[in-house]
């Protein structure tokens, strides 16, 4: 397999129990894997036989024969490699078993793309000569590879940047976080730029440095309260007009 290709390993069969000794707790099991490149141009079939979590013997389609990893494994590998019918059957599994299943896996899951949800927050304000800290977080994206960078007035910033690796959420999605330490300057433009396979063009989110975080929060809360008040007032006016149309006037004489 080419090391320059991004390889994906899919365990088609997690474990097939061949024999279990429940009294002593000894377990023999077999794991079948299909490894392939993201373009499906390279494919490798691997079947491993293990005893108590230790691999004993393996067939690899690239090697084309059984290889033993213990004394018993080496002994069995030599015997199995002399069985031409068994070798032919294992070599055929690459096309019969892996090609079909990996194509299904690729179509159902691996070919999908999900755009990241990006959030830019102020982790620490600049006080007492200490720099401020911005955090750019990307959530729920797929596939894994993503690039998060920082720009100041259109120029990429490489210093004072700490970024996490792509973290698996356990549900096929990933998240990543990048922190930037900086000293705010009046009129500057600081942006977080996210590049991902699902995006047609890089996503840029700009931090508004003209106003402190507490002030921005006050304005946001005030605006929300104003909108809510207008909605309540409009609803009351509509209710009053509706009631007025149904009212019957009686002369007071």
87 lies in the same domain as 164: no
Q: Is residue 247 part of a domain?
A: no
Please give the backbone phi and psi of residue 195, each rounded to the nearest 5 degrees, phi first: -120, 130
Q: Provide mean pLDDT across the span 237-246.
A: 60
What is the pLDDT confidence band of residue 177, given thresholds at 50, 70 and 90?
Answer: very high
> What does the mean pLDDT of the chain come to?
78
Q: What is the pLDDT of residue 81?
A: 95
122 lies in the same domain as 103: no
**Residue indicated by tokens 């002030």:** 215
Look up the domain containing 148 and give its range: 117-213
pTM recorded for the entire structure: 0.48
Q: Is residue 223 part of a domain?
A: no
Run of H or E residues at 51:
strand 43-51
CB 204 within 8 A of CB 119: no
123 lies in the same domain as 103: no
Query: Is the pLDDT assigned to residue 61 strictly greater than 90?
Result: yes
Q: What is the pLDDT of residue 246?
A: 56
What pLDDT digit, counting tens, does each position of 75-120 carry?
999 999 999 999 999 999 988 888 878 777 777 766 688 999 999 9
Query: What CATH number is given to the structural domain containing 136?
Result: 2.60.40.10
User: What percent of the chain shows pLDDT beyond 70?
Assistant: 68
């Amino acid at each position: 397999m080419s090391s320059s290709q991004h390889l994906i390993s899919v365990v088609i069969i997690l474990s097939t129990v061949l024999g279990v000794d429940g009294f002593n707790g000894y377990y023999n099991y077999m794991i079948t894997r299909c490894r392939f490149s993201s373009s499906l141009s390279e494919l490798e079939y691997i079947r491993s036989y293990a005893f108590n979590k230790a691999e004993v013997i393996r067939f690899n389609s690239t090697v084309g024969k059984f290889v033993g990893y213990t004394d018993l494994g080496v002994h069995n590998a030599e015997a199995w490699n002399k069985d031409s019918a068994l070798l032919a059957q294992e070599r055929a599994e690459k096309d019969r078993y892996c090609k079909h299943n990996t194509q299904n896996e690729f179509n159902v899951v691996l070919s999908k793309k999900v755009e990241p949800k990006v959030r830019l927050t102020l982790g620490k304000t600049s006080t007492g000569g200490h720099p401020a800290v911005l955090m750019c977080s990307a959530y729920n994206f797929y596939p894994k590879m993503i690039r998060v960078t920082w720009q100041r007035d259109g120029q990429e910033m490489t210093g004072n940047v700490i970024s996490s690796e792509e973290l698996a959420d356990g549900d096929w999605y990933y998240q990543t976080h990048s922190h930037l330490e900086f000293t705010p300057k009046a009129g500057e433009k600081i942006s977080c730029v996210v590049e991902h396979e699902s995006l047609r063009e890089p996503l840029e989110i700009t931090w508004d440095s003209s106003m402190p975080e507490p002030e921005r929060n006050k304005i946001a809360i005030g605006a929300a309260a104003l909108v809510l008040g207008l909605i309540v007032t409009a609803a009351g006016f509509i209710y009053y007009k509706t009631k007025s149309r149904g009212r019957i006037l009686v002369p007071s004489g």
